A = this chain, B = another copy of it.
Amino acid sequence: MSATVSPSALVTRFRAVRAATEALCVPLEVEDYVVSSMSDVSPTKWHLAHTTWFFETFLLAPHADAYTPLEPRYAFLFNSYYVQAGERHCRAQRGLVTRPTVAEVYAYRAYVNDAVLALCEQLADDPAHAAWRTLELGLHHEQQHQELLLMDVKHVFWTNPMRPTYRPAPRATPTAVPQGWQPIEPGLVEIGHPGSDFAFDNEEPRHPVYVHGGRLAHRLVTNAEYAAFIADGGYRQPVLWLSAGWATVQDQGWRAPLYWEKHDGAWQEFTLSGMAPIVPYAPVTHVSFFEADAFARWAGHRLPTEAEWEVAASVHPVAGRYVEHGAFHPMSDDREGMQQLFGDVWQWTASPYVGYPGFRASPGAIGEYNGKFMADQWVLRGASCATPQSHARLTYRNFFPSDTRWQFSGIRLATDA
């Protein structure tokens, strides 16, 4: 299987993606790179190193004959979960490892970058070489970690009583997006990645599915709407919740989305620009599947299936940006149809994350990328404000467990009637 773009385009893209990751770290102090504020959060330093390890392990080790690792112990430290790629450092201890230093990790990145670019030069005339496909995968992998890095930095900063800020607040203020409903006709449709450009294995094969009909909301649920759910006792009425969701509400003491705090009777939320009053028309974010499901039930609606989402979204181009959900697309206001699909928040669906019919994981350790997580998680569709724009696509299947909230996740409603 070969890459979907040319070697020279991939080399350009490699430079850009690797630089983009480092650009995200510009606002950080050395200390910020080191810690993990909860079990789901990895240190920035680890993200920088792990994405590098991916190229070293899956690209350089098999394809670059003369390659010598800068430090053999990094293979142990920076493997995330690929059991076929050898022993791994315990995930729970990632935030306890002070060495290599940040400077050493940057040196590791540079060392591997050089080796990758040398290999690219060597293979420039062989566009069908399997290495190009691996390189392309590695870039998409690194883009995923760019979003994770922002999720994790946000959580680290929020954990700190000093409440540091990552960047200045955006100037634009979102305004109301008119609500409307996109009808979905019952019948057989096809979903999944169709074509020749890049996709993860879990987006394939494209396959028919029977859609039962309904309507999808044109826009996302807003902070104001979610605040009304809270004010109506949403977090105190067990009948609105799945059983496991209600147990989580009680165990965790949930009273609002992650990062929301009430000050003097008004909701504020922690953003990458610090604490700020919630913006009424902005999409609610940092809600779990359980909260999305409970909100939908309270609203008299439901969540869409991923097939419904893909069908409804298929007539729209991708749009995404690197600003947190405080800033909207200007184009949202003056047109009809599905809006806020990409670039605001990931949208929980009613679809459990399982393989498509006929799904086959890639052979070898790279096959562990997606397939082994196909249990007890839910599909999210779209893309968030933290997703690199070139990483978003119609058939993308993101996935998280029911009770996670540190990702930029929100709600799009659906209804049967």
**Which residues in A have some Cβ–Cβ distance to B below 8 Å?**
29-37, 45, 73, 76-77, 81, 83-84, 89, 93, 95-102, 156, 159-162, 164, 188, 207-210, 212, 238-239, 241-246, 289-290, 293, 350-352, 354, 357-358, 368, 372-376, 401-402, 416
Contact = CB atoms under 8 A, between A and B. Distances in A.
A189 to B, nearest CB: 10
A208 B212 CA distance: 8
Given A29-B101, A242-B374, A373-B242, A208 B210 contact: yes
B354 A354 contact: no
A240 to B, nearest CB: 10
A162 B208 CA distance: 51
A411 to B, nearest CB: 16
Contacts of A238: 83
Contact of A96 (B35, B77, B373): B35
Contact of A210 (B95, B101, B209, B374): B209
Nearest to A237: B83
Contacts of A97: 35, 159-162
A272 to B, nearest CB: 15
A210 B207 CA distance: 10
B29 A99 contact: yes
Query: 8 closest A-B pairs (Cβ-Cβ)?
Result: A352-B352, A212-B357, A31-B98, A83-B238, A243-B372, A32-B98, A30-B30, A210-B210
B208 A96 contact: no
A242 B375 contact: yes
A34 B98 contact: yes
5 contacts: A35-B35, A81-B243, A93-B159, A293-B375, A376-B376
B358 A354 contact: no
Which interface residue of A93, A96, A208, A358 has the most chain B CB atoms within 10 A?
A: A96
A246 B159 CA distance: 25
Contacts of A81: 243
B358 A416 contact: yes
B30 A31 contact: yes
A334 B351 CA distance: 42
Most chain B Cβ neighbours within 10 Å, of A29, A207, A245, A401: A29
B31 A34 contact: yes
Contacts of A207: 212
A96 B156 contact: yes
Contacts of A37: 96
B102 A31 contact: yes
Given A31-B31, A31-B33, A161 B77 contact: yes
